[in-house]
Structure 1
Amino acid sequence: MIRLLLVDDQHLVRAGLRMLCEAAPDVEVVGEAENGGAAVRYAEQVLPDVVLMDLHMPGMNGSVATERILAARPSVRVVVLTTFDDDDHLYAALRAGACGFLVKDAAPAELLEGVRRAANGESPFSTRVLDRLVASAVDTYVGDRAPDPMARFDFTGREREVLALVSAGLSNGEIAQRLGLGVTTVKTYVTSLLAKTGASNRVRLAVLAVRAGIDPN
């Protein structure tokens, strides 16, 4: 059972998320928070596996709350819920350690799958958000440990295929289906790519792929 904490300053949004998530047989909503400060406190109290985190909230914003939650409990997976006017805040949340970004108007099935992927150690990204992050970061790469875009990594043919599909926003399961591999095998390839490039997450792998001219098509 996935223990889920909902964080949003709008009561109606939290109510809708709770209704959706509680209908899933493998998700338990263990708490709600209306701002970042409450999210940090509740994360210590209810011990969630995954946090769905809004960015714009009164008081402590979602990026700061993410950083503080992960400083205390690094195993928690924080998935940001974003709108189209959040671009200035996406990188702050990424630097804070958010593992994924989903748009608030995502289909219910996509949101629930994002929660499950996060709990499984993956990085769920709505395609629209990933495209925005990659497009903005190609020329101004974010992160203290960003891989050198000019470095010549010794990718195998299969690694290039996996990297291209990561850059297209596909999940491990979708990549496995596309390439005819097992999900565990794909996860191993992704882990290897992260280690080989020094990238800390799938967004940074996607940026690297674009800058290296690796085409997902």
Structure 2
Amino acid sequence: MGASCGGGNMQVNDEDYHNVGLRPRHAYSVLDVQDLHGLRLVRLRNPWGHYSWRGDWSDECSLWTAELREMLMPHGADEGLFWMSFSDMLRYFDCVDICKVRSDWNEIRLQGILPPHADKDSMAVTVMTVLEATEVEFSLFQEGQRSAERSQRSQLDLCVVVFRAADPARGQVGALIKHSKRQVRGFVGCHAMLEPGLYIVVCLAFNHWHTSKSYFHFLTF
């Protein structure tokens, strides 16, 4: 788990962050969470190994009792590693990313192109057969923008949608099962528990119809 400090859509005053020992537009590791009789604390680590939080529940804060120190910091303070309240985390951090690692999962990647047309004849879908109840993660990634040519493109407004197939023979779309958030970012995703059956996965972008082509990678587990 990683937390983004003062990035995204947040209005950030760099000096305010520096005054409390945080680095804006910087990623921190989330190591632990504790709820002790309503006291909600989060343990974070600056990957640089220095620059620690200086607000409530920082290493030298007077809020610590001997019992809590023994419970949550048995080896003493460590530079770059700190506890902070959940409310302060919500104030200074804008998102948390979770990477799930499961040794028995399989990964499938499909590359595709979103054509510059909004009609159904230009829409490609992925048909998926589920043989037994399965937990699935769907992720839709758009092509990186590091090359000079790609850097001129705007990021796409992405969404991935999962339907149950109404008529497997004709590939007709049935009930909506799950969908990701619609966002302008590098990737979107959603989680679903699927019962046996046939499903249709549709990758969408809403601001690409006047471009030549838009490339994406569709990833499932």
TM-score norm. by structure 1 comes to: 0.26
Structure with more helix by fraction: 1
Q: Which has the higher contact order (CA 8 A, sep 6+)?
A: 2
| Structure label with greater radius of gyration | 2
